[in-house]
Amino acid sequence: MSPPLRVAITCFPTFGGSGMVATGVGLAMAERGHRVHFIARELPVRLDTLPRGVTFHEVTESDYPVLQHSGAYPIALASKMIEVATAEQLDVLHVHYAVPHATAAWMAREVLGDKAPRIVTTLHGTDTTLVGIHPSYLPMTRFSILRSDAVTTPSAFLRDATWSGFNIPTSVPIDVIANFVDTEHYVPGRERASLKALFPDLGEHEPVLIHVSNLRPVKRITDVVGVFAEVHRQLPCRLVMVGDGPERAPAEGMLRELGLAHRVAFPGKQHHFVKLLASADVFLLPSEQESFGLAALEALSCGVPVVASDVGGIPEVVRHGETGFLAPLGDVRAMAGHVLSLLKDSARWRAFSLRARADVVERFRKEPAIDQYESLYRRLVSGA
């Protein structure tokens, strides 16, 4: 039997898919008996308990006034990586989201020399499509990606966007390891209680649409509101917007202007929202860009059909006409039409729901994804 690995994982600790995937990988590796260290600014959101085999290392920065706004965090992070790698004799350092994590990992390796762990960089989306290719970050991000021992993306879309966006030859390997979902946690289970808690006057058969995100511009929150308003015009319904972010206030304003504010709930950031999610009828994701769409995957796992924009990696997750519908970016009317086609035909909705769950169980279970990460780690450590 191969010896357990010593792995460190770096991610953003905040709400967001990259941190959730990173945490899921780390916890699953620990369940398999590996020693796992999380290195981050704060305890990652989904790491609310530290199971056996898992340690958290907080990156702290000097509060010296001169350093304010200096962007010295990558240096503090690299220093912590060096400390942990040395003390724990790490085999692998797996960073999620390239900016600035892949660069900090490269700096740490320069210092550690022969004793450095293998570096795996998992790109997640805007680190390639938006932030990483911004001229302020591009040269260092490209360099850090190229200096990683392995690079992974959650979708073929993001692999291709990385090759083209950073002008990296396609001969440079990028492994696609699709994001995964805990299908035992994200289970179908329709009940009205969690919806009634948000809408005490909810009618017995009144449909509920749901959206979950960090409510940033890339999610096109006004399109979520637009789709809801269009559907509501033809079929009275409700909308739940889970999460928080800069687009919340404009969305609330738009809903007030439309006279629909009372039909929409904003419960804010939620740690445990699976019951709410599973009880909704349709999940909306009209994003401008999405390397994968983890929230849509969680909805599908609960048997909730998804209506989304046909962009990025979403078509790799949502099967158009089978588990949900895809429409051109910004086509609010088409999306509303798709939602209505599901809500007005219960047999159709049920067929989509069953297929959604079955497709997720077939293609996006956690264990096969963790097998892929584990064999990637083993391959790097063995030097093959």
Residues making contact with ligand GMT (CB under 6 A): 16-19, 21, 124-126, 154, 179, 218, 289-294
Q: Which residues contact 84 (CB under 8 A, 6 or more apart)?
A: 8, 37, 39, 57, 90
- What is the smallest separation between the CB atom of 124 and ligand GMT, expressed in angstroms? 3
Euclidean distance between CA atoms 134 and 88, whole angstroms: 35
Cβ atoms of 195 and 276 within 8 Å: the answer is yes
- What is the smallest separation between the CB atom of 362 and ligand GMT, expressed in angstroms? 19
- What is the smallest separation between the CB atom of 26 and ligand GMT, expressed in angstroms? 15
Euclidean distance between CA atoms 8 and 30, whole angstroms: 11
- What is the smallest separation between the CB atom of 203 and ligand GMT, expressed in angstroms? 33
Decide whether 20 or 119 has the Cβ nearer to ligand GMT.
20
Decide whether 21 or 369 has the Cβ nearer to ligand GMT.
21
In the chain, the amino acid numbered 372 is Q
Decide whether 39 or 85 has the Cβ nearer to ligand GMT.
39
- What is the smallest separation between the CB atom of 266 and ligand GMT, expressed in angstroms? 19
Decide whether 277 or 294 has the Cβ nearer to ligand GMT.
294
Closest residue to ligand GMT, judged by C-beta, is 125
Decide whether 20 or 339 has the Cβ nearer to ligand GMT.
20
For tokens 């789709």, the residue is 227
Which region, left, alpha or beta, applies to residue 203 given φ > 0 means left and ψ of -120 to 50 means alpha? beta
Cβ atoms of 337 and 307 within 8 Å: the answer is no
Decide whether 37 or 220 has the Cβ nearer to ligand GMT.
220
Decide whether 125 or 305 has the Cβ nearer to ligand GMT.
125
- What is the smallest separation between the CB atom of 290 and ligand GMT, expressed in angstroms? 4
What is 334-369 written as a DSSP string? HHHHHHHHHHT-HHHHHHHHHHHHHHHHHH-BHHHH
Decide whether 84 or 294 has the Cβ nearer to ligand GMT.
294
Decide whether 23 or 126 has the Cβ nearer to ligand GMT.
126
In the chain, the amino acid numbered 153 is T
Structure tokens belonging to residue 161: 């966007």
- What is the smallest separation between the CB atom of 170 and ligand GMT, expressed in angstroms? 21
Measured in residues, the chain has a length of: 384
Is the Cα torsion angle 100, 162, 11, 381 positive or negative in sign? negative
Euclidean distance between CA atoms 123 and 142, whole angstroms: 12
- What is the smallest separation between the CB atom of 263 and ligand GMT, expressed in angstroms? 28
205 to 96, 129, 279: CA distances (angstroms): 42, 41, 12
- What is the smallest separation between the CB atom of 212 and ligand GMT, expressed in angstroms? 11
- The burial class, CB within 10 Å (0-12 / 13-18 / 19+), for 165 is middle
What is the signed CA dihedral for 270, 283, 349, 208, rounded to 10 degrees? 60
